[in-house]
């Protein structure tokens, strides 16, 4: 027999025994109170009637109870599986599959939420120096490995409440919670040093040297997040112009204007 069948029969037998005992007690008490004789028919009625009625009724009730419980268990398992699938889907849609960092959309959404909360944060833009040469010299597999190592360094150098995202290609972004410009510059410099100090040597013919340039901007209350990112991008460009492998929270507008003019001339040449 199946375990559920044994449980149903066991419960039904117990209920039937209780019914028989209760029937004897009530029937004999009533007969004695009314001074009615207790004959063999009384014994038969008090024994078989509870068995004939109580046994099938209780078995049916307990069988339905088992069915309902089994259905509830299946629903619970389905709900757990659905919740886990939703969590996996949410993670996949909000995170970069290669590095495990936030996607650009999720990173921007967190910036917007922090702005709406009225907190003063700092955003950093991190870009590897001469990254295309790594792909050209060592191949795209090594380039992907480099991005993963940089992502790990960013996680190591930031605080638990900070948000780290891969904004596209080789560019990364960090949202430093409740950090002013001075603290942001300190964290950015630690990040730059950590990445510069990563042991990339894998052999005599497999040497990868990686540095990053970092641009940062403080996010004031009710600031436009796109504008903040543009300012951080200009600071990143300034860090590149000043020799790379450095941190910049300031930029010179004339350099940006010259860069835009060079791009325009190349477009029409």
Relative orientation angle of helices 225-241 and 253-268, to the nearest 10 degrees: 90
Distance CA 26, CA 171 (A): 85
* Residue 46 CB partners (closer than 8 Å, separation 6+): 20, 23, 24, 27, 28
Strand pairing category for 171-176 and 163-168: antiparallel
Q: Does the active-site annotation cover 170?
A: yes
Specify the residue for token string 């599986």: 81
Element housing 83 (H / E): helix 40-94
Distance CA 244, CA 239 (A): 6
Catalytic residue among 76, 87, 170, 260: 170
Paired residues of 126 in beta bridges: 172, 214
Q: Token digits for 4? A: 């559920």
Question: How many angstroms from the chain centroid is the CA of residue 35?
Answer: 77
Paired residues of 95 in beta bridges: 102
As annotated, the active-site residues are 170
């Amino acid at each position: 027999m199946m375990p559920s069948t044994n449980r149903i029969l066991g419960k039904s037998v117990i209920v039937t025994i209780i019914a028989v005992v209760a029937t004897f007690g009530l029937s004999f008490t009533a007969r004695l109170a009314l001074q009615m004789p207790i004959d063999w028919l009384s014994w038969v009625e008090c024994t078989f009637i509870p068995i004939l009625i109580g046994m099938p009724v209780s078995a049916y009730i307990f069988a339905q109870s088992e069915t309902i419980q089994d259905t509830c268990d299946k629903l619970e398992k389905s709900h757990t599986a659905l919740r886990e699938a939703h969590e996996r889907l949410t993670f996949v849609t909000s995170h970069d599959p290669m590095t495990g960092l936030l996607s650009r959309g999720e990173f921007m959404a967190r910036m917007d939420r922090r702005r709406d909360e009225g907190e003063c944060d700092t955003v950093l833009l991190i870009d590897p120096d001469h990254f295309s040469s790594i792909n050209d010299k060592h191949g795209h597999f090594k380039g992907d490995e480099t991005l993963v190592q940089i992502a790990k360094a960013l996680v190591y150098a930031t605080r638990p409440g900070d948000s780290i995202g891969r904004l596209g290609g080789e560019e990364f972004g960090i949202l430093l919670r409740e950090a002013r410009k001075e603290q942001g510059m300190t964290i950015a410099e630690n990040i730059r040093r950590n990445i510069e100090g990563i042991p990339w040597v894998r052999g005599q013919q497999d040497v990868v040297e990686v540095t990053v340039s970092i641009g940062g901007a403080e996010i004031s209350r009710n600031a436009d997040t796109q504008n903040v990112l543009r300012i951080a991008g200009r600071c990143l460009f300034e860090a590149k112009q000043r020799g790379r492998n450095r941190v910049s929270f300031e930029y010179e507008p004339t350099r940006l204007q010259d860069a835009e003019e060079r791009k325009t001339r190349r477009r029409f040449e």
